[in-house]
């Protein structure tokens, strides 16, 4: 897709070429046809008109808001409600009718109005609470708002609204998790719509968000959903692990071992084994790639953050006992379903592998990733169940980090993938620098290491860039 700016520059250049005789009139005509120089003026005019309309709408909106604000207190409650609702309906309906038109600029404007409508929904809900002095937690507002926007996103299949909905529900979920963490109220949580939604968010998010990515055929939505699902899982892990603790009557240390093992293993298990639905194979091949990339990034993050000794050393003390009998076991269903999905997916991966003999290179990668996940899950369990192994755990995580970064660099080299190569290199350098920062070494040695790292990065980077160019596959 060429930009308007490029086309207008090209038009000027082409004029110069023709006057200088580099190209003849028919070639000029062909170029004009190809880059549609004749639509340049109208498209920039259209953009100008859109901007003007947008600006006008904002000003009118501000005018209405100030007018209402000046008399807001004198209005009766029901009139306020009526006013808010009609504003909401008008913005959305105008947006929908403009968006439905076939030309591109009005679709953009309509889309903008629909987003404004979605924001008005939140404003309406918040103001309603204020008018009637409702004391509900903030996360309930976010969850309800997100669900409202999600319904519209599903119906209109709009990427922008989908992203907004996922973001809102994501904020709501974290609000719920943090709220529960701080006053321990998850132990005494009364069953309500928001607690149900919050506790089962990992599985509900799969159901709510992933089909949307297919409907909108959007890789962005898929990536957002995957992140939202994983983070919902992370937010809820502590009460899932308390549930496990109640089931098997574990000590607090063992419970934290389970929490960390699940935290390490479950997201990459699910992300790596994600496969597309058959009907959408054509577009969703890319979904699988996104998911696997996210799994690798997640693993890299885990390896990096747990490659420090102090974290493991602190993890061998018992903390105060929580009353496990009050833990709600119902929320474990969500965890169980996810674990089952993960296991089933990996069994499928294994079956696929046995069908191809000899092993393909991506099968080999899968085996390595699987082993890495297995080790990360085993270490915290060993650490808390059998004997504390802070030194070994630190060593293992460092080794895994180096293995992963070397693997990424190798992958980058063999397939000429810039991003994989640089990510691996960055990971390696960061870890080495961190090592020397924390270690008790003299400034002179530190400076030497910095210089060596810098020289190394430049040398390897230059060599790689040259290699990639000669490799003849400079994309990606």
Q: What is the DSSP string of 394-406?
A: HHHHHHHHHHHHH
- Cβ 247 to other proteins, closest distance in Å? 19
Query: Hey, what are 473's tokens?
Result: 């596959």
Q: Which is nearer to other proteins, 5 or 77 (CB)?
A: 77
Select 154 or 450, whichever has its Cβ closest to other proteins. 154
- Shortest separation between residue 36's beta carbon and other proteins, angstroms: 17
String of DSSP letters for 283-324: HHHHHHHHHHHHHHHHHHHHHHHT--HHHHHHTTS------G
Residue 97 CB coordination number (10 Å): 12
Nearer to other proteins, 95 or 235 (CB): 95
Q: C-beta of 13: minimal distance to other proteins in Å?
A: 28
CB of 327 to other proteins, least distance (A): 13
Smallest gap from Cβ 260 to other proteins, in A, equals: 25
Please give the Cα distance from 161 to 89 (Å, whole number). Answer: 16
Note the helical H segments in 319-389.
332-355, 361-385
Query: Considering beta carbons, is residue 11 or 217 the nearer one to other proteins?
Result: 217
- Sequence-distant (≥ 6) Cβ neighbours of residue 349 within 8 angstroms: 273, 366
Phi, psi of 365, deg, nearest 5: -60, -45
State the nearest-atom distance from the C-beta of 96 to other proteins, in Å: 5
Q: In 3D, which of 124, 151, 156, 125 has the Cα closest to residue 138?
A: 125
Nearest residue to 299 (alpha-carbon basis) of 213, 424, 432: 424
**Nearest-5° angle of CA 171, CA 174, CA 179?**
125
Nearer to other proteins, 96 or 308 (CB): 96
How far is the C-alpha of 244 from the C-alpha of 251, rounded, in Å?
11
Binding site residues, other proteins, CB under 8 A: 72-73, 84-85, 88-89, 92-93, 96, 100, 102, 104, 107, 111, 121, 124-125, 128-136, 141, 144-145, 147-148, 151-152, 154-160, 183-185, 187-190, 215-217, 323
Nearer to other proteins, 156 or 295 (CB): 156
Q: Smaller CB distance to other proteins: residue 217 or 446? A: 217
Is the Cβ of residue 141 or residue 302 nearer to other proteins in the bound state?
Answer: 141
Nearer CB in complex with other proteins: 8/160: 160
Q: How far is the CB of 334 from other proteins (least distance, A)?
A: 21
CB of 225 to other proteins, least distance (A): 16
Question: Measured between alpha carbons, how far is 24 from 17 in angstroms, rounded to an integer?
Answer: 9
Least distance from C-beta 40 to other proteins, angstroms? 19
The maximal CA–CA distance of the chain, rounded, in angstroms, is: 88
Q: What phi and psi values does residue 166 have, to the nearest 5 degrees?
A: -60, -40
Residues 6 or more apart whose Cβ sits within 8 Å of residue 29: none
Determine contact, residues 251/371, Cβ cutoff 8 Å.
no
Minimal distance in Å, beta carbon 198 to other proteins?
Answer: 15
Read off the tokens for 37.
């120089």
Closest distance between other proteins and the C-beta of residue 160, in Å? 5
| Of 58 and 90, CB closest to other proteins | 90
DSSP 8-class letter at 1? -
In b/e form, how buried is each residue of 2-29, taking b as 16+ CB within 10 angstroms?
eeeeebbebeeebeebbeeeeeeeeebe
Cβ(452)–Cβ(429) below 8 Å: no
Between 152 and 377, CB nearer to other proteins: 152
Q: Which residues contact 22 (CB under 8 A, 6 or more apart)?
A: none
């Amino acid at each position: 897709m060429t930009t308007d700016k490029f086309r207008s520059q090209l038009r000027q250049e082409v004029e110069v070429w023709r006057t200088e005789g580099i190209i003849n009139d028919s070639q000029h005509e062909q170029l004009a046809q190809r880059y549609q120089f004749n639509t340049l003026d109208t498209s920039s005019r259209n953009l100008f008109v859109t901007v003007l309309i947008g600006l006008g709408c904002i000003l009118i909106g501000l005018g209405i808001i100030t007018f209402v604000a000046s008399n807001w207190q004198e209005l009766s409650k029901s009139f306020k409600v009526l006013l808010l609702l009609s504003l909401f309906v008008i913005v959305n309906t105008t947006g929908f009718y403009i968006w439905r038109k076939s030309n591109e600029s009005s679709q953009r404007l309509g889309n903008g109005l629909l987003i404004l409508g979605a924001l008005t929904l939140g404003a309406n809900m918040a103001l309603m609470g204020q008018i009637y002095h409702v004391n509900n937690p903030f996360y309930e507002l976010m969850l309800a708002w997100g669900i409202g926007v999600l319904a519209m996103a599903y119906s209109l299949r709009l990427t922008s609204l989908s992203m907004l909905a996922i973001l809102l529900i994501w904020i709501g979920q974290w609000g719920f998790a943090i709220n529960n963490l701080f006053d321990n109220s998850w132990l005494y949580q009364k069953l309500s719509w928001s607690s149900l939604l919050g506790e089962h968010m990992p599985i509900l998010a799969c159901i709510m968000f992933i089909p949307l990515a297919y409907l909108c055929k959007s890789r962005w939505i898929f990536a957002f959903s995957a992140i939202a699902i994983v983070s919902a899982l992370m937010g809820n892990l502590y009460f899932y692990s308390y549930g496990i603790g109640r089931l098997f009557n574990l000590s607090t240390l063992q419970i934290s071992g389970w929490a960390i093992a699940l935290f390490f293993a479950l997201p990459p298990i699910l992300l790596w084994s994600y496969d597309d639905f058959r009907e959408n194979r054509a577009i969703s091949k890319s979904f699988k790639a996104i998911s696997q990339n996210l799994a690798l990034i997640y693993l890299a993050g885990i390896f990096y953050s747990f490659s420090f000794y102090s974290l493991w050393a602190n993890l061998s003390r018992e903390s105060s006992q929580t009353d496990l009998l009050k833990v709600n076991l119902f929320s474990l269903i969500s965890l169980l379903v996810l674990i089952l999905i993960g296991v089933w997916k990996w069994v499928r991966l294994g079956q696929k592998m046995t069908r191809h003999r000899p092993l393909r290179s991506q099968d080999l990668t899968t085996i390595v990733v699987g082993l890495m996940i297995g080790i990360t899950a085993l270490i915290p369990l060993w650490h808390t169940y059998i004997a504390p192994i802070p030194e070994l755990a630190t060593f293992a995580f460092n080794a895994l980090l180096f293995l992963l970064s070397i693997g990424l660099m190798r992958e980058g080299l063999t397939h000429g993938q810039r991003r994989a190569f640089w990510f691996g290199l960055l990971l390696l350098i960061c870890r080495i620098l961190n090592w020397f920062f924390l270690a008790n070494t003299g400034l002179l040695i530190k400076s030497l290491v910095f210089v060596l790292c810098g020289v190394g990065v430049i040398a390897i980077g230059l060599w790689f860039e040259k290699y990639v160019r000669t490799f003849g596959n400079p994309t990606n």
